[in-house]
Amino acid sequence: MKIYVQKYGGTSVGNPELIKKVAKKIVKRAKDGTGLVVVVSAMGDSTDRLIDLAHDITVNPPDREIDMLISTGEQVSISLLAMAIDSMKHPVVSLTGAQVGIKTNDIHKRAKILKVNSKRIIEELNNGKIVIVAGFQGITENNEITTLGRGGSDTTAVALAAALKAEKCEIYTDVDGVYTADPYIVPEAKKLDVISYDEMLEMASLGAKVLHPRSVELAKQYNVTLEVKSSFKECKGTIIKEVKSMEDVLRVSGITYDKKIAKVAIIGVPDKPGIAFKIFSDLADNNISVDMIIQSVMYENINDISFTVAQDDLNKTVSIIEKTAAELGARGVEYDKNVAKVSVVGAGINKTEVAKAMFQAMSDEGINIQMISTSEIKISCVINANDVEKAVKAIHSKFILNGIDIQHHSAI
């Protein structure tokens, strides 16, 4: 039996009407005898509503009990989806993470999947059933309920696809694929047919909201072919798979942005060995992940060190860093929430040429670049948040004008 894993996000199952629509789509697909395993997120904003309820009880709920609470969200949506499919007379069964046997470590609220037991799913598929699985959740060796953190349902879907050796893992969402830029900002942005794991990883990390980086990493590791496509429109989406370039073409996959970052700077740090280690180990110890790091040119043995963090982590970061700054005898800490990151992503991009075009586009628009960082397949700039849309538009059209085509990768 050919097995396909599908994943529907919270907006796709946000109310009973949408659930019935999704059910119809699933039943239609299952008609030809395809083995379908469907991973579902919690309905709409139900997870947020559960967390609000927890915060009505206490400001600091234990992580274990938060997992106990929010894992109910997916349990509700799998049962409702199974009811909808059953009402269409197709055999179906819903399974919680515990029932499937999605074993995780015991780090609550951001557990990692250790093992997926495919026995029960295979049995149910062999009985002709569509199998609906609760995304985002798992169970530890000691029977404790865990959740996987952000992007958890995508991760569940990819892990199941890997364990079941599925033909493909289809991620259904409210957009119909991965675009060269956000179509709301750049109407002429093109949908990509194919993109490599690494490029998607950069795109995902940089704020293209269609897929969580964890799930892309996992897909790469187990060579699971992903397809991002629309929950309700009938059209091809974007395939994410291993793409081997035959020649070293200059190829830009897309322009992305992320508004949910903040910039933090420690001003006037004495230039001594171990300073950077001290700063970033204090942050790492507190589970804060730092993205771009810039150390300014030293002047009179004094440095400025700047970095970006997720906006959600800003308060925590500042309180840690103020302590660190005092210990180091730095002059102070500054931070800015009103920043954003704009990036150009592409495999084998000729950095100088791309960088030049990117910087020129922003300069033409009078946009000031605050920080720059580069990797093998991307160039990112931190700019004022108010300039984001202007920057994305300008860069996107610059590449088209400059003949650095923002390509479909269907030739591979």
Q: Which is nearer to a copy of itself, 142 or 287 (CB)?
A: 142
What is the closest distance, in whole angstroms, from the C-beta atom of residue 81 to a copy of itself in the complex? 8
- Per-residue DSSP letter, 112: -
Q: For residue 298, state whether it binds a copy of itself (rule: CB under 8 A).
A: no
Q: For residue 71, state whether it binds a copy of itself (rule: CB under 8 A).
A: yes
In this structure, which long-range contacts are made by residues 401-406, counting pairs with CB atoms below 8 Å and at least 24 apart in sequence? 402/357, 404/250, 404/252, 404/353, 404/354, 404/357, 405/251, 405/252, 406/180, 406/181, 406/190, 406/252, 406/253, 406/254, 406/255
Distances (CA, A) of 135 to 307, 360, 367, 377: 33, 44, 41, 31
Which residue in 48, 87, 272, 286 binds a copy of itself (CB under 8 A)? 87
Residue 171 C-alpha from the chain's centroid: 12
By CB under 8 A, the count of residues binding a copy of itself is 38
Q: 385 CB contacts (<8 Å, ≥6 apart)?
A: 259, 337, 338, 339, 340
Which residue in 65, 193, 336, 365 binds a copy of itself (CB under 8 A)? 65
Q: Which part of the chain contacts a copy of itself (CB under 8 A), choosing from 81-89, 260-268, 335-343, 402-410?
A: 81-89
Q: Which part of the chain contacts a copy of itself (CB under 8 A), choosing from 83-91, 155-163, 303-311, 362-370?
A: 83-91
Q: For residue 22, state whether it binds a copy of itself (rule: CB under 8 A).
A: no
Cα 284 from Cα 289, distance rounded (Å): 7
Cα 39 from Cα 29, distance rounded (Å): 15
Closest C-alpha among 295, 399, 386, 275 to residue 345: 399
Q: Which is nearer to a copy of itself, 92 or 292 (CB)?
A: 92
- Interaction with a copy of itself in 39-58: which residues (CB under 8 A)? 50, 53-54, 56-58
What is the closest distance, in whole angstroms, from the C-beta atom of residue 67 to a copy of itself in the complex? 8
What is the closest distance, in whole angstroms, from the C-beta atom of residue 170 to a copy of itself in the complex? 23
Q: Which is nearer to a copy of itself, 65 or 389 (CB)?
A: 65
Cα 163 from Cα 215, distance rounded (Å): 14
Q: What is the chain's Cα-based Rg?
A: 23
Cα 217 from Cα 229, distance rounded (Å): 19
Angle between helices 314-328 and 275-285 (to 10 degrees): 140
Q: For residue 279, state whether it binds a copy of itself (rule: CB under 8 A).
A: no
Q: For residue 145, state whether it binds a copy of itself (rule: CB under 8 A).
A: yes
For residues 321 and 282, the answer to whether their CB atoms sit within 8 Å is yes
Q: For residue 60, state whether it binds a copy of itself (rule: CB under 8 A).
A: yes
Cα 400 from Cα 410, distance rounded (Å): 18
Residue 346 C-alpha from the chain's centroid: 18
Which residue in 79, 230, 350, 374 binds a copy of itself (CB under 8 A)? 79
Q: For residue 94, state whether it binds a copy of itself (rule: CB under 8 A).
A: yes
- Interaction with a copy of itself in 98-117: which residues (CB under 8 A)? 98-99
- Per-residue DSSP letter, 334: E
Q: For residue 336, state whether it binds a copy of itself (rule: CB under 8 A).
A: no
- Angle, CA of 138, 143 and 146, to the nearest 5°: 30
User: 68 by DSSP, 3-state: which?
Assistant: helix
What is the closest distance, in whole angstroms, from the C-beta atom of residue 110 to a copy of itself in the complex? 18
Q: For residue 118, state whether it binds a copy of itself (rule: CB under 8 A).
A: no
Q: Which is nearer to a copy of itself, 62 or 348 (CB)?
A: 62
Q: For residue 72, state whether it binds a copy of itself (rule: CB under 8 A).
A: yes
For residues 382 and 263, the answer to whether their CB atoms sit within 8 Å is yes
Q: Which is nearer to a copy of itself, 32 or 56 (CB)?
A: 56
For residues 145 and 74, the answer to whether their CB atoms sit within 8 Å is no
Closest C-alpha among 284, 252, 248 to residue 357: 252
Q: Which part of the chain contacts a copy of itself (CB under 8 A), choosing from 62-70, 167-175, 246-254, 359-367?
A: 62-70
Q: For residue 140, state whether it binds a copy of itself (rule: CB under 8 A).
A: no
Q: Which is nearer to a copy of itself, 53 or 411 (CB)?
A: 53
Q: Which is nearer to a copy of itself, 59 or 235 (CB)?
A: 59
Q: For residue 83, state whether it binds a copy of itself (rule: CB under 8 A).
A: yes
Q: Which is nearer to a copy of itself, 124 or 199 (CB)?
A: 124
Bridge partners, residue 341, by sequence: 258, 382
| Pairing outcome for strands 35-40 and 3-8 | parallel
Q: Give me the residues that bind a copy of itself (CB under 8 A), please.
A: 16, 19-20, 50, 53-54, 56-58, 60-62, 64-66, 68-69, 71-72, 75-76, 78-80, 82-84, 86-87, 93-94, 96, 98-99, 120, 143-145
